[in-house]
Amino acid sequence: MENPPRPTTPQPLHGMFTAVPPRYDFVNRIITLGLDKRWRSLAARTCLEDNPETVLDLGCGTGDLTVNIACLARKNTEITGLDFSQPMLEIAEQKAAKAGVFKSVRFIQGNATALPFSDAYFDCVGISFAFRNLTYKNPLAQAHFAEVTRVLKPGGRYVIVESSQPENPVIRALFNLYVRVFVAPVGILVSRNRGAYRYLAESITRFYTPWEVRDMLKAAGFRDVSYRPLLFGATGIHVAFK
């Protein structure tokens, strides 16, 4: 089921995500006013809708979605969190141990563009707030799509919870203002990582609309693509099937 790691080209953002972990969770809670927990929990439930036997949390970071899935899943569900940042994975492991789900999850260091799993292994791939990193101005975006489709079983689902663009132009303008005057400065102040939170603000405010994401998923070969907006469309959950 697990293939040896494959050689990869240098990965965009790797340095940034190796540096942010110590205050990553804390900053998330502040900038989303605690709503990120609820959004991941909704995504976890969406991942589990067809009672999958195997689930991958892609770009699992500090493991919030992985642990959420593990807490809600049926016994014997095999849950894997994968990330290329070792410091993120170390926090994820501690979190899983604290939540008492350490035995049902495993964390693997690896690249989204060269996944160390055999073809058609997973019933579901979930991704929380890492889809933007893998697609926005990322030259390896297509490699990521190819890998997700490769490791999903036919009929398997890809669940994406990600920031989005509110449809209403007034709400969109207010949201973008919030990101620029609150999210970026608070992120920089708390994490002391200017580059990471500048990137966050830029990528959120310029990220694709839900329709563009739908078209990307369809072009990558997914079918039955749907979208559920959350918080007036500032965030949303996309679901697509292989």
Contact between 85 and ligand SAM per CB under 6 A: yes
C-alpha span between 128 and 65 (Å, rounded): 7
What are the CA-CA distances from residue 31 to residues 19, 39, 155, 185 (Å)? 19, 14, 36, 10
Contact between 65 and ligand SAM per CB under 6 A: yes
Q: Are strands 235-241 and 152-163 parallel, antiparallel or unpaired?
A: antiparallel
Residues 7-46 within binding reach of ligand SAM (CB under 6 A): 11, 13, 17, 40
Q: Which of 44, 73, 88, 148 binds ligand SAM (CB under 6 A)?
A: 88
Residues 114-173 within binding reach of ligand SAM (CB under 6 A): 128-130, 133-134
Contacts with ligand SAM by CB under 6 A: the residue count is 22
In terms of CB distance, is 95 or 157 closer to ligand SAM?
95
225 phi, psi to nearest 5 deg: -80, 125
Cα angle value 162/77/118 (rounded, 5°): 75
Considering the complex, what minimum distance in angstroms separates the CB of residue 146 from ligand SAM? 13
Which residues does 202 contact at the CB level (< 8 Å), separation at least 6? none
Determine contact, residues 132/162, Cβ cutoff 8 Å.
Answer: yes
Considering the complex, what minimum distance in angstroms separates the CB of residue 20 from ligand SAM? 8
- Determine the interface stretch with ligand SAM among 57-65, 99-107, 145-153, 209-217 (rule: CB under 6 A): 57-65
- Determine the interface stretch with ligand SAM among 94-102, 107-115, 191-199, 231-239 (rule: CB under 6 A): 107-115
Beta bridge partners of 159: 126, 239
Residues binding ligand SAM (CB under 6 A): 11, 13, 17, 40, 59-62, 64-65, 83-85, 88, 111-113, 128-130, 133-134
